[in-house]
Structure 1
Amino acid sequence: MKILYFYPENPLSFSQGNNSRALSLLNYFKDRSIHLDFVGEHSDVFTEDSIQELKKENLIQNGYLLKKKKKSSSIIRYYLDYSFPRKLNSRFKDFDRTKFGYKDQFLKIISDTDYDVVIISYVYWSSLFNAQLKGNKTKWIVDTHDFLTSQFQDNKKFSLDKYFKKEIDLMKKFDNVWVISHEEKYLFSQFLKIPVHLVTHSLPKVETSSNTEKNIDIVYVASDNFHNIKSADWFFKEVYPLLSLDVRITVVGKINKHIPKLQNVENLPFVKDLDEIYKRSRIAICPMLSGTGLKIKVIESLSHGLPVVCTERGVDGLINKTNNGCLASNDSLLFSTYIERLLNDSDFYNKNHLEAKNFFESNFDTKRTYEVLDTIFSCQ
């Protein structure tokens, strides 16, 4: 079997949870000895060196990066194939992230090799789909990652019915749809007649060691997207002042650019091995106030048996909203109370630690997701 997998960013970059999800899929294909070619989007941080690193790790066979063509290279095609269509469809331009030249480059990659499966990540890259190449041999899959209509609701021209219809219509072009959360599977399957598969994020079970010193009370991992910036602002303005200054907090990721410097807060914009941070931590937080889909950092925390204190958005995508190792509240006082109780009540901590561990093993252990993927690809 030969698979072409499109994912725009570098899966080896640990700055965002979605990259971890992509890497977990690459590891599945590697484990199953499936021939995998990879296509990404060229950027300052995703270059040919990154492709070579993916090859070195034996995660891909061949790698390609889509590069924007200059308008001057073909003025007529620029206007006819790219500029005019985008202006005519300006209301839904958010659903198309391709740039001039991307579709031609992608078509050439597909045309040069007979692929059994082509996987496109995110609905807003679905314009890479080519109807002429869809046939009995090549199956096209869109891995949605997220419910995009919700992401666009603050747009000036947003209309729920039109945006949702557009998202569904784009998915209808494909043979299969992958979703990452139970809520999205329920929602999309109501409007799609093609198969909708739940392919959630998976991680290998982590064996915890009692010898590791737990010198981090709270770990908070986040990138600097709009949702995380708003959430971090809420936590440090509304919750942090309610906590004891003896509580040791470590913040990991680009979100550090948007939080104040505080005496009991360690700021780590980048770490090479996030697992080591989790192993040294007692609990994790996920104070998300908006956004959709499964929160990858919550799953990573649960894989280490860490209880997670989160808002209601933090348990999105989980089949169980309670008894799962997560304590959820949008009330700042209760949020801080959960933290203090976990840190000071060993019985309460152990109960939530075991729930986190058991819930993860039952739903997100690599073995579970591999079984789902094996079933999907055995049917191709």
Structure 2
Amino acid sequence: MGKPVILVIAPMPVFPCSAGNRRRLLSTCDFLRDCGFEIDFVYLAHEDQIYRRFAQTPPTDQKKMQEYFRRVWFLELKHPIRLNTGASAFELDDWCPEELNDFVRWYFEDHGAASAVLVNYVFLSACLLQVPAGVLRIIDTHDKFSERRNQYLPFRLAPNFFYTSPAAEKEGLSRADIVIAIQPTEQKYFSHLIGREVSLLMPNIPVVQNFVSPTKVRAIGFMGHGNDANLVSISQFASAWQQVWQPSMPVLLIAGEICKSMPSEMGPGVKILGYVEKLSDFFNEVDIVIAPMLMGTGLKLKVIEALAHGKPLVGTSVAFEGLEAQSPDHNFRSIHDMISRIQGLAATPKYLVELTAASKFVFEAYSQNVDLGAKRLSDKLSCAHVSRSSNLPPLFPSTDTRSSSHQIGPLVLTSAMTLGLSEVADHAIYGKPLATEFLVSRTDHHEWQTCSAPERRSWWVRLGTNSVESREELWSLAGKRINIAPSFTDRPMTDEAKKLQMLAMKVLSTAEPDWSTAAIFVAADSDNITITFQAPSFLLHQATRSYAFILHDGPDGTVRLEGVAISPLSFLKLPPLTMTSRCGDTSSLPMVLRAVVTQHLPTTSFAPTKLLLISNGLCGHVELNQTVQ
């Protein structure tokens, strides 16, 4: 008899482990494997979509996940998730798409071998309602979401992640047989909320380096993911640090994905390192790690990782929530008090010894809680050690490594099967990444095996050495549903890159648009262009980034627009709008786009045919079909 199988569902990938929630997920999966389970893993592409909204390539290593798990499924979303709500809280199931419920139903009705299901985050708990009787249902909470919005109010910010009411969180947690908390404070809260025992599973972070008290403080450091809590906290700390910094003081080093959301140059006393491949490389550069957290829930894994590397740490009470932190150095209420203490530590070696001892105590107590919680949860999971039969054949990466290249005019377009976007990068032979196919099950229950496979067809583009006349249809993208590579819309820096981008836009225009309409008014001169049309309402959201390209009949074929500004209009009678389900909210409004034309337009009449408007990873087509003088 084989090993028991557990189905793990998460809105983020496991690899690469570039954020705290991914490290938590990997630690949990390691624990499940130690308990004797094989794991079927479902990545519901929430994070994939969020990265695209900010014009970034989602860091996803499908190949490594294929090697780690028994099976992997990749579920793309038909509708975008809303990052904000006009209400005081999200409804419990607002972030749980119907396609996930359909998938779980398909998995168990047709093929499921799992004797347990673990869902990451309470907002995906609705899919547990599709799990048949006799299968153990588990929720790993990660965070407390009840009234999470209140943390943002002092900073006059709108949260862009899930938050809900205590009643909704209670309802979601009640769908599980076992609820797991990430730290003791939240364990007590959830236990009181649902009126029964809640398990504790703290991430097992092994010792990397032993604690050694520094003799001097040359550098202090912060490493974090690019979430709101990190950005608010380190931005305020860095600003306050610069105000008091003198050359005799330590330099503040900032590393991790948070650097993408910060200026590349911060001025005296602060250095931005960017993404660091190895944590140890960063920790070896700093003498003290800081955790100036002003907001946030769950467990701050950045704190645990610093302690695992033997680093003395100074932080706020928010940063050490759920840990046995007794030292005043781990319970600051303000950034200014933290800075004053760091100045004193740098000048007094005795204080550094005390700080190191206090930090070591926190980590040792944490490690004891890890072992105790894991033992108790392992005993609870023993009831799920049942093997079930499955009709589903094992999933293996495709052995089809062939690529196809076609030249259309001066462009060489290459397509190949890839395991996710981790493989879709600049290629020495293929060129620049252009797009990856978008696959979702439309209606057919039997499409899941194909649409949820991790493999996708991807396309690259480069300039050929010669121009080849071809009447052949742009076969490989025509009518396809695609995700445009986020990097391809970046402003090109060289003449060759500009030419490549302009020519490739005609290729992208043959793919299926996410929305389409016709313009009612177009006006252009040598410097500016104005276009009026009906468009999806999300284009007016403040956080939306839009990139615009005009296709025309001239010799160059494409004009990139700069300084794109989109505003609402008051009159209502405009041509109708066609949208795919990927646009989510199908409400539309009349709008006007104004932009700067930086390229030279033909001196004769300018005959634009189509506007490509790429926003939040979605591509809209606005038919122009008129001559503009």
Which TM class, normalised by the smaller chain length?
0.7 to 0.9
2:275 aligned partner, one-letter code = F
Structure 1 CA distance for aligned equivalents of residues 218 and 115 of structure 2 = 47
Residue 130 of structure 1 aligns to a residue whose secondary structure is helix
Kept in 1: contact 2:94–2:123 (CA 8 A): yes
How much does 1:185 deviate? 1.3
Match of 1:163 among 162, 165, 172: 165
Match of 2:140 among 134, 138, 143: 143
Structure 1 CA distance for aligned equivalents of residues 244 and 92 of structure 2 = 40
1:105 aligned partner, one-letter code = F
Structure 2 CA distance for aligned equivalents of residues 70 and 334 of structure 1 = 45
1:118 aligned partner, one-letter code = V
| Structure 2 stretches lacking a partner, 5+ long | 159-163, 385-629
Match of 1:292 among 294, 297, 322: 297
Kept in 2: contact 1:327–1:338 (CA 8 A): no
How much does 1:4 deviate? 0.9
Percent of paired sites with the same residue: 23
Residue 51 of structure 1 corresponds to: 62
Structure 1 CA distance for aligned equivalents of residues 218 and 20 of structure 2 = 21
Residue 281 of structure 1 aligns to a residue whose secondary structure is coil
Residue 64 of structure 1 corresponds to: 73
2:337 aligned partner, one-letter code = L
How much does 1:190 deviate? 1.3
1:316 aligned partner, one-letter code = E
Structure 2 CA distance for aligned equivalents of residues 335 and 341 of structure 1 = 10
Against the structure 1 CA distance between its residues 20 and 50, is the aligned structure 2 distance closer, same or farther, given a 3 Å change threshold? same
2:71 aligned partner, one-letter code = N
Residue 116 of structure 1 aligns to a residue whose secondary structure is strand
1:99 aligned partner, one-letter code = P
Residue 112 of structure 2 corresponds to: 113
Structure 2 CA distance for aligned equivalents of residues 240 and 321 of structure 1 = 28
Residue 266 of structure 2 aligns to a residue whose secondary structure is coil
Against the structure 1 CA distance between its residues 213 and 96, is the aligned structure 2 distance closer, same or farther, given a 3 Å change threshold? farther
How much does 1:171 deviate? 0.8
* Matched residues, number: 352
Residue 341 of structure 2 corresponds to: 338
Structure 1 CA distance for aligned equivalents of residues 146 and 218 of structure 2 = 37
How much does 1:94 deviate? 6.3
Residue 374 of structure 1 corresponds to: 378
Residue 285 of structure 2 corresponds to: 280
Which digits, 9 at most, give the CA deviation of each residue in 1:168-197, with x for residues without a partner? 011111101111122211111113244311
| Structure 1 stretches lacking a partner, 5+ long | 72-81, 157-161
Kept in 2: contact 1:15–1:270 (CA 8 A): no
Match of 1:350 among 342, 353, 363: 353
Structure 2 CA distance for aligned equivalents of residues 307 and 238 of structure 1 = 21
1:178 aligned partner, one-letter code = I
Residue 129 of structure 2 corresponds to: 130
Structure 2 CA distance for aligned equivalents of residues 289 and 283 of structure 1 = 19
Against the structure 1 CA distance between its residues 368 and 214, is the aligned structure 2 distance closer, same or farther, given a 3 Å change threshold? farther
Which digits, 9 at most, give the CA deviation of each residue in 1:127-180, with x for residues without a partner? 22125x342x31101111111023234699xxxxx8111110111111011111
So what's the TM-score if we normalise by structure 2?
0.51
Structure 1 CA distance for aligned equivalents of residues 167 and 306 of structure 2 = 35
Residue 228 of structure 1 aligns to a residue whose secondary structure is helix
How much does 1:118 deviate? 0.4
Which digits, 9 at most, give the CA deviation of each residue in 1:9-48, with x for residues without a partner? 122233321111111112223444421111112336568x
How much does 1:302 deviate? 1.5
Which digits, 9 at most, give the CA deviation of each residue in 1:273-301, with x for residues without a partner? 11331233211111111122221111111
Against the structure 1 CA distance between its residues 317 and 377, is the aligned structure 2 distance closer, same or farther, given a 3 Å change threshold? same
Match of 2:183 among 181, 184, 207: 181
How much does 1:261 deviate? 2.0
1:54 aligned partner, one-letter code = M
Kept in 2: contact 1:199–1:372 (CA 8 A): no
Structure 2 CA distance for aligned equivalents of residues 216 and 247 of structure 1 = 5
Against the structure 1 CA distance between its residues 377 and 240, is the aligned structure 2 distance closer, same or farther, given a 3 Å change threshold? farther
Residue 90 of structure 2 aligns to a residue whose secondary structure is helix
Residue 275 of structure 2 corresponds to: 270
Against the structure 1 CA distance between its residues 379 and 105, is the aligned structure 2 distance closer, same or farther, given a 3 Å change threshold? closer
Kept in 2: contact 1:243–1:336 (CA 8 A): no
Residue 219 of structure 2 aligns to a residue whose secondary structure is strand
Residue 25 of structure 1 corresponds to: 28
Structure 1 CA distance for aligned equivalents of residues 79 and 282 of structure 2 = 44
Against the structure 1 CA distance between its residues 168 and 99, is the aligned structure 2 distance closer, same or farther, given a 3 Å change threshold? same
So what's the TM-score if we normalise by structure 1?
0.82
Structure 1 CA distance for aligned equivalents of residues 223 and 254 of structure 2 = 6
Q: RMSD across aligned C-alpha pairs, in angstroms?
A: 3.2
Kept in 1: contact 2:215–2:352 (CA 8 A): no
1:8 aligned partner, one-letter code = P
How much does 1:264 deviate? 3.7
How much does 1:353 deviate? 1.4
Please identify which structure carries the higher helix content: 1
Which digits, 9 at most, give the CA deviation of each residue in 1:247-281, with x for residues without a partner? 12221123222255224433232111113312332
Decide which structure has the larger Cα Rg and report it: 2
Against the structure 1 CA distance between its residues 68 and 363, is the aligned structure 2 distance closer, same or farther, given a 3 Å change threshold? same
